[in-house]
Amino acid sequence: MSNRRLRACLTAAATAAVLTACGGGDAARTNHLGYEDGVAPAEGLTFFEGLAIYLLAPAVILLLIAAVVWLPGMVRSSRYRPGRGWGAAPLWFGGPPDPAAAVESASTGDLVRGGASGDW
């Protein structure tokens, strides 16, 4: 037998032994609470318990998530409104500390090209 096949057989034998030990005998039919076959007697839910568990609890969770998402945006006072002017100062991301001086002192080079490929 190859090592792979021997390992598969040993794994199957160990699994069968564990499952037999866990589920065999009369002692396994009654658990430590004394229920027959490990199943508690069914009492069922009342209408209001079912309503609370399946409707009210998910609604509360969804409302909490919505509040966590929406409240920070609603609390902030200044934000952009479409159609109105932008009141903030311009900002150059990743540029030099003084953008105006950098643009004025920039040289165009010998040949001015444009576009993504620079061919036109």
* 86-109: pLDDT as tens digits: 777 777 788 888 878 888 887 766
Same domain, 51 and 30: no
3-state SS assignment for residue 36: strand
Q: Per the domain annotation, does 63 fall within a domain?
A: yes
Tokens of 46: 């009342």
pTM above threshold 0.75: no
Whole-angstrom Cα distance, residue 89 to residue 99? 13
3-state SS assignment for residue 106: coil
Whole-angstrom Cα distance, residue 40 to residue 34? 9
Same domain, 5 and 28: yes
Whole-angstrom Cα distance, residue 20 to residue 17? 5
Q: Per the domain annotation, does 11 fall within a domain?
A: yes
Give 54-71 pLDDT, tens digit per residue.
999 999 999 999 999 988
Q: How many domains does the chain have?
A: 2
Q: Which of 16-25, 31-40, 60-69, 110-119: highest mean pLDDT?
A: 60-69
| Contact predicate 95/102, CB 8 Å | yes
Q: Per the domain annotation, does 96 fall within a domain?
A: no
Same domain, 28 and 51: no
Q: Per the domain annotation, does 87 fall within a domain?
A: no
Structural domain for 17, as ranges? 1-35
Same domain, 1 and 31: yes
